[in-house]
Structures are given as structure tokens and as C-alpha cells.
């Protein structure tokens, strides 16, 4: 990983509808760090302080090879993001190391998904989520997507979902979370009804 930060982000537009667009963030530049951190702060109460981005975690999750970060923009402003990271990049987490697919380079962990509250209810979150999962399916090396959600949430997901583990006190929040695994089927059209892991509207 190149630790020398770029000033301006490098992105590729993936989908657009009117004033809204979704971009693959090929490289996060320091000019976008403040807004990414600000947006992430809403996740701390629900998912713990580790969900809040820092300069180091932006480098780790947005700029690491193999990561798949997408940002959502409205009228040019970043309003949310979703990040998938190779599970191997989370080797400091005990739950990641004991995943049966750890080391196989076939699993993306959905680190975070967040859309600002003023843009809820208009389909933006659904579009962002769909782009993310469809792009994951296009990667021949990726067979699974995993993530942590509050207990009971994954039962609302469509597709091939299996609960792998449960954590009674996730990241010190006092809430029980479940660790789930989604088996990606390239022949199945994704039509989720709920948000993926670490989702919130601020």
C-alpha cells in the first residue's frame, strides 16, 4: 500500500441519476478526508468508536489494494459511502482470523455503509448498496460478503445468508450483533429490502 496521500481523490463514475451519482473511489485524497470523517461520526453510537474514520483508517479502508469503496454524491457533494475490504486486512480482529475463509482471498467484509439523513427515503441508499453488491459479484476472486449487523437484521436480507457467529457486546456498545456471510451467486439478481452492515442515516 502506498502511504503517501494524494491531495485530490481519484474516482470513477459508476451510476448517475439527475443530481445524484455513485463513484468508485480509486484513491481517497486528503481534501475529502474531513467530509468522510464527518459523515462517519454518526456511526459511533450505534456501532462503536471504531466505526469513525481517522486519517489512518481512511488509508487502510479506502486506499488499500483490494478494497472496494464507493461514494455517493448529490449536486457534487459527498453524502455517503460504502466500503468493502478484504477480510485479510482485518487481521488484528480475532473474529476475522477465525473466519473459515480467512487467507483464501475470497471474502469482502462490509466495513461501513452510511447515507446522510436528509437524503433518506429517495432511493439513494438502495442504489449505492446495489452498485456495491453487483460490483462484488463481478470480481471473480470474491465469493462471499460478510459483515456485522444487530441481531435479527440479517433475517431480512435476501439471498443466501448464514449467521456465522454472535457477539454479545459489539465494540463496547452493549448490543448483540451477528456476524453473517452472504454467498454471492453471479446468476442471481440482487434485490435487497434492507441496508447492509454498519448502515445508518445521519
Instruction: Give the integer Cα–Cα distance in Å for 165 and 65.
Output: 27
Instruction: Give the integer Cα–Cα distance in Å for 62 and 81.
Output: 10
3-state secondary structure of 155: helix
| Residue 70: inside a domain | yes
Short-list 69, 70, 106, 62, CA closest to 86: 106
| Residue 163: inside a domain | yes
Domain count, the chain: 1
pLDDT for 86 equals 95
Instruction: Give the integer Cα–Cα distance in Å for 11 and 78.
Output: 12
* CB neighbour list of residue 73: distance below 8 Å, 6 or more residues apart: 20, 21, 22, 23, 79
Cell 436528509 belongs to residue: 118
DSSP type of residue 194: S
Instruction: Give the integer Cα–Cα distance in Å for 125 and 200.
Output: 10
Residue 174 has phi, psi (to 5 degrees) of 80, 5
Least confident window among 24-33, 139-148, 169-178, 190-199:
190-199
Structural domain including 130 reads 10-201
| Residue 5: inside a domain | no
| Residue 3: inside a domain | no
| Residue 162: inside a domain | yes
| Residue 93: inside a domain | yes
Give 4 or 34, the one with higher predicted confidence: 34
| Residue 1: inside a domain | no
| Residue 150: inside a domain | yes
Per-residue pLDDT tens over the stretch 119-156: 888 889 989 989 999 999 999 899 999 999 889 988 88
CATH code of residue 73: 3.40.630.30
* CB neighbour list of residue 121: distance below 8 Å, 6 or more residues apart: none
CB 154 within 8 A of CB 163: yes
pLDDT for 193 equals 41
Amino acid at each position: 500500500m502506498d502511504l503517501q496521500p494524494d491531495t485530490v481523490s481519484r474516482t470513477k463514475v459508476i451510476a448517475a441519476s439527475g443530481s445524484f451519482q455513485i463513484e468508485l473511489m480509486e484513491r481517497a485524497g486528503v481534501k475529502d478526508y474531513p467530509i468522510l470523517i464527518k459523515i462517519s461520526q454518526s456511526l459511533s453510537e450505534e456501532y462503536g468508536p471504531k466505526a469513525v474514520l481517522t486519517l489512518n483508517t481512511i488509508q487502510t479502508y479506502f486506499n488499500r489494494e483490494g478494497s472496494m469503496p464507493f461514494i455517493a454524491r448529490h449536486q457534487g457533494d459527498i453524502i455517503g459511502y460504502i466500503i468493502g475490504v478484504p477480510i485479510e486486512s482485518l487481521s488484528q480482529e480475532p473474529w476475522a482470523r477465525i473466519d473459515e475463509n480467512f487467507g483464501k482471498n475470497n471474502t469482502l467484509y462490509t466495513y461501513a455503509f452510511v447515507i446522510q439523513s436528509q437524503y433518506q427515503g429517495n432511493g439513494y441508499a438502495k442504489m449505492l448498496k446495489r452498485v456495491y453488491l453487483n460490483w462484488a459479484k463481478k470480481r471473480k476472486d470474491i465469493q462471499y460478503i460478510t459483515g456485522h449487523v444487530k441481531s435479527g437484521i440479517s433475517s431480512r436480507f435476501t439471498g443466501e445468508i448464514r449467521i456465522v457467529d454472535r457477539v454479545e457486546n459489539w465494540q463496547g456498545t452493549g448490543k448483540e450483533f451477528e456476524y453473517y456471510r452472504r454467498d454471492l451467486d453471479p446468476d442471481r439478481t440482487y434485490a435487497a429490502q434492507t441496508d447492509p452492515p454498519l448502515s445508518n442515516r445521519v
